[in-house]
Structure 1
Amino acid sequence: MSELNEFSRLIGALYDAPLDDARWRDVTMMIADFFDTHSCALQVRSEQGALLLGSTDNVSPDLARQYAEYYYQYDEWAREATLYPLDTVYFGNEIVADSVLERSECYDFMRAADMAQVVGGALALGGNEVGIIGVHRGWHAAAFDGTDRRKMQLLFPHLQRALAMRSAFRRHEIRRSMTEAALDKLAIAVLLVDRAGRIIHSNRAAVEMLRRENGLFASSSFVRAASPATTQALLRLIDRACNAGTQPSINEPVGALAIERAGMRPLSVLVAPIRRDDAAVASSERIAMLIVRAPEENDARRNDTLRALFGFTATEAALAGALADGLTLSDIAARHRVTLNTVRSQLKAVLRKSDTAKQSELVALVLRQTTGYMP
C-alpha cells in the first residue's frame, strides 16, 4: 500500500473514532504502522486526571491499568508536553532530557512497554482538556528524524479535530443525560416532540400518562389526542413552538390547550419552544416541549406553594393555577359560577401580589415555581 493510501485510511479511521471509544485502539495501531514502529499511545488529560484512549499491543491491559492508576502522575514527557507550546511536534529529548526520564517513576513503565524515544506533542481540545499523542521506538531502533516530524505535523490537525469532536460529543452526552435525569424527577409529564408530534423523549410521568391512553396517547411514536380536532390544534401549537425555537431570544410558551378526558377533568398542555442552540437537546431538528398537567394530581400542593410564595388567598391561588392550566377567564368564571368582572378583579390582585404586568407573565411565573419550567 502506498504511503498516501495508508494516510488516507488513517484519516478516515480518525474521524470515525469519536463516535466509539473502542475504535481508538485501531487508530493507534494504524498510526504506529504509518511511522513504521510498534508503539503509539493516545490520551486526554484534564484537571480530573488522564484517560488513556488507545494504545498498541506493547501496552498490555495490565500495563494500561497501572498507567491509569499510578504512572500517569509521573509521566515526565506527557507533563512537559502540556507545558510547552501546544499543537507543536516535539522529539522527546527536546523537552525532557534522557537522564531525567531514567530517574523518573515512569521509567519502569517505559521499559516494560519498550518506549525509549518518542515523537508527538500535546493538542488543545477546548475547555480544560488536552490531547496527547506519543509514537515510540525501542532502545535498539533507529532514531526519529525530520521525516517523522513532518509526518506528525501532517497528522496533528486531523488528530486535534477528531479528539475535539470526541470531547464535544461527550460533553453533549453528559448534558443530555443530566437533562433527562432531571426531567424524570418531575412529577409532571414532559414530552419533547418534533414538528409532526413525533416523541423524541418523554419523562417517566409522561410515559405513565400515555400508557393510560386517556386524553393523550402515543400512536406509532406520535403524540395524539382522542379527538382529531384537538390533535390538529395541538399540532398547530407545536408548529408555532418549533418556529419560535429557531429564534435564540424566544423561549416563552406559545400557548396552552385543554385536552378532554373520559370521566375526568381535562389535561392542561403547555407548549413551549426548545431553542435550537440548547446544547442539552441532542437533535438538529426543531423541537417543542409539552408540559402536561393532570389537575387532580397536584392542585392542592400547587395552590399551597403559590399561597406561601405570594400571599395569595385560596381563591387567588386557584385562579393563578387555572390560568397556568390553560383555562380562560370565562372558563374560570363559569366553573365557579361567578361573573367575569369578579374574576377580572381577582386577576388584578393576583398580578399585583405576584409583581407581574400581564397574564402571560403570571402563567410563566406559576410554571417556574410549580413545575420547574424556566421560560
Structure 2
Amino acid sequence: MRSVSNRLRPDTKSVAAERAYDQQLLTSLIGDIYDAALDDALWPTALERSAIFVGGVGASLFARDTAAIAGNVYHNFGIDPYYQKLYFDKFSGLDPLTMPHLSAEYEQPVATSDLMSYEEFAETRFYREWIRPQSLVDFVGVVLEKSASTITVFGVFRHERDGLVDEAVRRRMTLLAPHIRRAILIRRIVDAKDAKAATFADTFDGLTSGLYIVDETGRILHANRAGKFMLTARSPMRMAGGKLVASEPQSAQALRNVIAAANIGGASLSDDLALPLTGECGERYVAHILPLASRGRHDVSRPAIAAVFVRRVTLPLPSPPGVIGRAFRLTAAELRVLYAIVEIGGVPEVAAALGVAETTIKTHLGHLFEKTGATRQADLVKLVAGYASPISVQPT
C-alpha cells in the first residue's frame, strides 16, 4: 500500500533520491511551521502539509495529563471534532500509546505498531470503537514538552489504505519533529511577551546567561542584563556597528556563519547550533543559537531570526546556598565539604584548602554519600549541578 505522501511524490529509483526529495519538501514546509508559531490561524495548513509529508491523513498538536484521563487539542487537521472530544472523554486511558508517550524521549517517534501487532491492536476496544470507525490503522507521535502534570504531543494518523507506519514514515517524522518542537517553544515565548512585555524583559534580565536577540545581519535587537555586561567588558562578546561579534577573531567568523545558518532554514536547523568561545583571560564560554525564523519568512514587523545564549562553562552553586542542605539534611560542615569537592577537587586538595585532616574530609564525604545516595564524587558534582539556579542573584 502507498502512503498519501507517496502519491504526491515522484517515482524515485534510489533511497538517496527519495531522501533528497524529502529534504526539498521539508525546506518549504518548515517555513509554514514557523509562521504558524506566530499566527495560530496558520496551524491547520501547516498540519495538513505535515501530515502529507510524513504520510498520513490527519495530524494533531495536543496535550494530555499524566493521569491520562483528560487532555486538550490545540490544533488539528483531518480528525473530526466529534472524535477529538470522544477520545478525551472516553478513550484516552485505553489508547495503547498513552503510557509509552509518558516515558518517551523528546522527538522520539513512537507508533502503535511498535508496541503490538495489527492483529492484537484490532482486538482492543480502542481500535473497534475509535480507530476503525474513522478508517484509520496506525498513529505515530513524538513528545514535544513534559511537565509534572502534562505532556504535549505532535502526531500523524495513518489511513487503512496506506498501511502501518514504516521506516520511511519514522524517518520523515524524525526530520520534522525538531521544527514542530521549536515552534511550540517560540509560541510560548511570544505568548509570555504578549501577556506582559515588561515582566518578560525583567525575566530575561534575571538569567545568568547572556541573551541576545539578533536579526539576519547579526544586529542586536535586544540584550538582557548579563548580555549587556559582557558587551561592556568586551568579553567574550562585543558590539561592532550595532552587531553582535565574538571578541576572539577566529570565533567571530564562526558566529557569523552560525547566525547565517539560522537564517537559511532547512534540515540544518535540526543540528545543535553551538559555538565554543574564549574570554579575555582564557575563561571558557559556550554560545547556543536558537533559530527563530527561516529565510524569506520574516518581515520588518518580525525581524528577529535568532536568540543567542552565552554562558560561562562553570558549575554555579545552588542559590540560595542552603537549599541543597535542607533537601538532604546536611550539616554546615558537610555542606562546606560538598561545595569544596565541586569547586576544588579531590580529598587531599579539599583538606589542604580547608585546613583540616584528610580523615576528616573522608568522614564528611562518607556522610554525604549516605545522605544523598551518591556513590562517587562525580555523582555529588552532578547533584549540585541539578540544584544550580539559572537565575542571577547579582545586584542590579
How would you bin the TM-score normalised by the shorter chain?
0.3 to 0.5
TM-score normalised over the length of structure 2: 0.40
From the CA coordinates, give the structure whose radius of gyration is larger: 1
TM-score normalised over the length of structure 1: 0.41
User: Relative contact order: is structure 1 or structure 2 higher (C-alpha 8 Å, sep ≥ 6)?
Assistant: 2
